[in-house]
Amino acid sequence: MSRPTVRADIALRKGYHSPQVDVDVRLNTNEAPTPPPPGFTEALHEALEQIEWHRYPDRPATALRTRLAERYHRTPAEVFVANGSNEVLQTIMLTFGGAGRTAATFEPTYALHSHISKTTGTTVVEGQRRDDFTLDIDEVKRVVETHAPDVLFLCSPNNPTGIVDPPDTVETVLELMAGTNGLLVVDEAYGQFADSSAVPLIGEDVPLVVSRTFSKTWSMAGARLGYLLAPEWLVAELEKVVLPYHLDAFKQAAGLAALDFGDAMDERVDRIIAERGRLIEQLGSLPVETWDSGANYFLFRANDMSGDDLWQALVDRSVLVRNCASWPRLDNCLRVTIGTPEENDALVAALREILVH
């Protein structure tokens, strides 16, 4: 029997993945370096005992949306929750993208913005960031005036560069988008590590979405729980697209339990930010170039060694970072997630052994 024919635009593409290697120090996927506090696990156990497993979960996730709304001083109708921020982005593109529509990205940036857009049949146009990876407003203006994108993605802090788009930059992009009837999506998956956010710009008449996740700052990558903040009318449109009962009872319970430990999570964010500064300072004594970051990771490259060779040399010393060397405009660049102090010290020791002769 013959095989069914895959969509032509899907058949020619590769899936998105992050290579996993068995090492002692894994600093390649921007995960939190430590698990949630013990009290979280205990609270989640208690919550699971209350779940009626033979019943469907609360379809609108009312309690979780209400608690998130309280944290951001919004209303529950301005909150949408899903299975990780990638499903949040996918739901946006199923609603506002599709055949005959266009999404804009500014490279280098998070690969899933274009990947998800293309998977939903949306045409992707790529603008370019400046050489220092900051957003070029003139380039944004060119892309908007030329293509009038239905969806424009910004990533702040940007992945993999760590660059943060300040609120005045986001406001300028919103002004440029005003005549296009397009939607601005600001991906703040790492927003809690930065010193500014686009959340205060959200309004009922503002075509702006800000997406976030529990994976990073809440140490819950294993739960796959994400959310967005947006105008009420926009959330209502997303609800038409998402599958029934898409967010299971376990995830809702996990999110609610985590929100009871907000102070502990905020303290962890502060520690990671401090550790980020310490690690970047230590790399300053090595023959590498680093970029400032507002995330729980940063980008660097060796002055006199290829990115591929340095990545392999680190793996040989049981340290895994993300190899970005083959990505467009990221020649020889590696991205390192901030780990525990011990993991970070192991990285520095390995780099010193490799690069200092």
Please state, in angstroms and rounded to a whole number, the distance separating the CA atoms of residues 185 and 329. Answer: 23
Q: Are residues 62 and 199 in the same domain?
A: yes
Range of the domain at 294: 8-30+263-355
- How many folded domains does the chain comprise? 2
Q: Tell me the pLDDT tens digit for each residue of 220-231.
A: 999 999 999 999
Domain membership flag for residue 312: yes
Q: Which of 260, 289, 317 is the last residue of a domain?
A: 260
Please state, in angstroms and rounded to a whole number, the distance separating the CA atoms of residues 102 and 121. Answer: 9
Contact call for residues 177 and 171 (beta carbons, < 8 A): no
Q: Are residues 322 and 268 in the same domain?
A: yes
Q: Which of 210, 244, 260 is the last residue of a domain?
A: 260
Domain membership flag for residue 329: yes
Q: How many CA atoms lie within 13 A of 113 on its CB side?
A: 29
Predicted pLDDT at 42? 94
> What is the average per-residue pLDDT within 168-185?
95
Angle between helices 249-259 and 38-49 (to 10 degrees): 140
Lowest mean pLDDT among 88-97, 261-270, 333-342: 261-270
Q: Tell me which of 7 and 73 has the higher pLDDT.
A: 73
Instruction: For residue 107, give the amino acid letter.
Output: E
Domain membership flag for residue 184: yes
Q: Tell me the pLDDT tens digit for each residue of 80-105.
A: 999 999 999 999 999 999 999 999 99
Please state, in angstroms and rounded to a whole number, the distance separating the CA atoms of residues 7 and 212. Answer: 31
Q: Are residues 187 and 320 in the same domain?
A: no
What percentage of the chain exceeds 70 in pLDDT?
A: 97
* Coil/strand/helix, residue 45: helix
Domain membership flag for residue 38: no
Instruction: For residue 121, give the amino acid letter.
Output: G
Domain membership flag for residue 43: no
Q: Are residues 235 and 273 in the same domain?
A: no
Tally of CB atoms within 10 A around 97: 25
Q: Are residues 243 and 323 in the same domain?
A: no
Instruction: For residue 25, give the amino acid letter.
Output: V
Q: What is the pTM of this model?
A: 0.94
Predicted pLDDT at 10? 66
Predicted pLDDT at 4? 81
Q: Are residues 245 and 100 in the same domain?
A: yes
> What is the average per-residue pLDDT within 243-263?
96
Residue 327, both tokens: 């990505």
Phi, psi of 240 (to 5 degrees): -75, -25
Predicted pLDDT at 49? 95
Residue with tokens 């009420």: 232
> What is the average per-residue pLDDT within 35-43?
92
Predicted pLDDT at 287? 97
Parallel/antiparallel/unpaired status of strands 79-82 and 226-229: antiparallel
Q: Are residues 221 and 335 in the same domain?
A: no
What percentage of the chain exceeds 90 in pLDDT?
A: 89
Domain membership flag for residue 3: no
User: CA nearest 129: which of 148, 151, 103, 104?
Assistant: 104
- Residue 162, CA distances (Å) to 109, 188, 242, 297 in order: 10, 11, 30, 7
Domain membership flag for residue 40: no
Q: Are residues 297 and 338 in the same domain?
A: yes
pLDDT higher than threshold 90 for residue 248: yes
- Residue 61, CA distances (Å) to 80, 88, 247 in order: 9, 14, 8
Q: Are residues 106 and 121 in the same domain?
A: yes
Predicted pLDDT at 332? 95
Q: Is 318 exposed, middle or buried (0-12, 13-18, 19+ CB in 10 A)?
A: middle
Q: Which of 231, 260, 289 is the last residue of a domain?
A: 260
Query: What's the pLDDT band for 327 if we cut at 50, 70, 90?
Result: confident
Q: Are residues 159 and 229 in the same domain?
A: yes
Contact call for residues 67 and 235 (beta carbons, < 8 A): no
Query: What's the pLDDT band for 24 if we cut at 50, 70, 90?
Result: very high
Domain membership flag for residue 2: no
Query: What's the pLDDT band for 272 if we cut at 50, 70, 90?
Result: very high
The CATH code of the domain that includes 283 is 3.90.1150.10
Q: Tell me the pLDDT tens digit for each residue of 190-244.
A: 999 999 999 999 999 999 999 999 998 889 999 999 999 999 999 999 999 999 9
Please state, in angstroms and rounded to a whole number, the distance separating the CA atoms of residues 53 and 231. Answer: 33
The CATH code of the domain that includes 94 is 3.40.640.10
Q: Are residues 251 and 276 in the same domain?
A: no
Predicted pLDDT at 13? 56
pLDDT higher than threshold 80 for residue 3: no
∠ CA 114-123-232, rounded to 5°: 75
Q: Tell me the pLDDT tens digit for each residue of 276-303.
A: 999 999 999 999 999 999 999 999 999 9
pLDDT higher than threshold 90 for residue 9: no
Q: Are residues 113 and 143 in the same domain?
A: yes
Please state, in angstroms and rounded to a whole number, the distance separating the CA atoms of residues 72 and 181. Answer: 26
Cα torsion through 83, 88, 91, 96, rounded to 10:
180
Contact call for residues 235 and 87 (beta carbons, < 8 A): no
- Residue 188, CA distances (Å) to 28, 147, 162, 211, 212 in order: 19, 24, 11, 6, 5
Instruction: For residue 270, give the amino acid letter.
Output: D
Query: What's the pLDDT band for 17 if we cut at 50, 70, 90?
Result: low
Q: What is the mean pLDDT of the chain?
A: 94
pLDDT higher than threshold 80 for residue 2: no
Contact call for residues 157 and 194 (beta carbons, < 8 A): yes
